Structure 1
Amino acid sequence: METAQQPSSGRKRMSRAEREQQILRTAEEVFATRGYQAASMDDIAQRVGLSKPMLYEYFGSKDGLLLACLERAKRELLECTSAAAAGASDPEQLLHDGLLAFFRFGEEHARSWALLRNESAVPGTGLDTELEAVRRQQVDFTANMLRSSLPATEESRLEAFAEAIIGACERMALWRESRPEVTPEKVTEHLMALIWPSLSGELGQKSESTSNSHDQA
């Protein structure tokens, strides 16, 4: 006697890792468009085709899901800025390409950027801490870029420069939101016009100081 065969849906069963990425993509969109408070776990579960209890099994809570989204966005931002800076041949290009990657990330990953910049929608110390960790990551990355270009500059000065650059990037990114005609290339040009003269002067001063030391020797 033949056993009845179950009809095949034709769908490939997702691995846990694939399902997690699907949930994160969907949750990122919901959080970014509706805001954290208005976002519903029921809606997210329905969109990905899971039960609400199963969604909680993956991420524990709504806070846990948002934290996972922020961690993913933080990782992607660091990856794209690091990749851009890796091909630079001189300090000016290093700064330019790092800034350009930051602004392109905001444009090409609009949902991730909406999560990272919309701090007012995020309650709770743990979430605030994660948002600050994203900022800290980019400050440290920028300080490392400057450190390689300005090895003779004192550490506290490098840190101050990095904090100022990231603060300026955040404000310029917000400024662009109401000016869609301003491209990532154009906003990078604006910021380079502000920052690079000071840094190039710093480079010149250090070079002159080193030259004078060699002459005196």
Structure 2
Amino acid sequence: MATTPTRLSRQARREQLLDTAVAIVRTQGADGLTLVTLAEAAGVSRPIVYDHFGTRPGLLLALYRRLDERHRAAITQALQAAGPAADEVARVMSAAYFACAIDMPEFASISAALKGDPEMDALQHEMLDSYANVMAAALVPHSGLPAEALRLRCVGVLGAAEAIATELTRERATAVDAVTALTDLIVGNLATRA
């Protein structure tokens, strides 16, 4: 006997589709995620998926944005619980960054699938700016650097964080080693030149 599909609000349906998309990427990689495979896995018609995302890049961008929002929220929440010392702020930022890298391994796969997409390039620049600003705001009380110099160092540290996250996901570093390395880089970048 066939069951009647549950009618969800547009936002609830979008969330359901994105949850299903994450599951597909985790099990099959980004190459396994298409609008058709998403519709089949979510148990909805293809037009519903097309209506929400339009194209495969549109779906991947929506998924990437969602993961980014969760990542940024986790870092912001972690910073609220950080102690007042610079090394504690740096450790909390580092731990939150790598916890997200471990909890959301599909982030890298989706990013790779969107390489060369102009919207993805713009989104990554927007994300980098946002993360650099969050980091700089958290670190400004611990640095005598001018605001732009501190922000630029945060951009550099984020590049290093991405490289360390790759080592972590390739199991060439432990989470403890990754957090320690990034914490040291952050703290080391707070110093002004003599």
Instruction: Please indicate the TM-score interval, normalised by the length of the shorter structure.
Output: 0.7 to 0.9
Q: How does 1:167-178 map to 2 (within 5 A)?
A: 167-178=159-170
Q: Structure 1 residue 170: deviation in Å?
A: 0.4
Contact 1:70 1:131 in 2 (8 A): no
Contact 2:17 2:38 in 1 (8 A): yes
In 2, distance between residues paired with 1:20 and 1:119? Answer: 23
Residue 4 of structure 1: aligned partner: none
SS at match of 1:72: helix
Q: How does 1:8-157 map to 2 (within 5 A)?
A: 9=3, 12-31=6-25, 33-36=28-31, 39-90=33-84, 91-115=86-110, 118-119=111-112, 121-150=114-143, 152-157=144-149
Residue 181 of structure 2: aligned partner: 190
Q: Whose RCO is larger (CA < 8 A, sep 6+)? A: 2
Q: Structure 1 residue 31: deviation in Å?
A: 4.5
Q: For the structure 1 residues 148 and 12, does the alpha-carbon distance in structure 2 shift closer, same or farther, using more than 3 Å as the test?
A: farther
In 1, distance between residues paired with 2:3 and 2:127? Answer: 41
- Letter of the 1:104 partner, please give it: A
Work out the number of aligned pairs and report it. 192
TM-score by length of 2: 0.84
Larger Rg: 1
Residue 215 of structure 1: aligned partner: none
Percent identical residues: 19
Contact 1:45 1:52 in 2 (8 A): yes
| Structure 1: runs of 5 or more not aligned | 1-6, 206-217
Contact 2:30 2:109 in 1 (8 A): no
Say which is worse superposed, 98-107 or 48-57, in terms of deviation: 48-57
Q: Structure 1 residue 58: deviation in Å?
A: 1.6
Q: Structure 1 residue 80: deviation in Å?
A: 0.1
TM-score by length of 1: 0.76
CA RMSD of aligned residues (A): 2.7
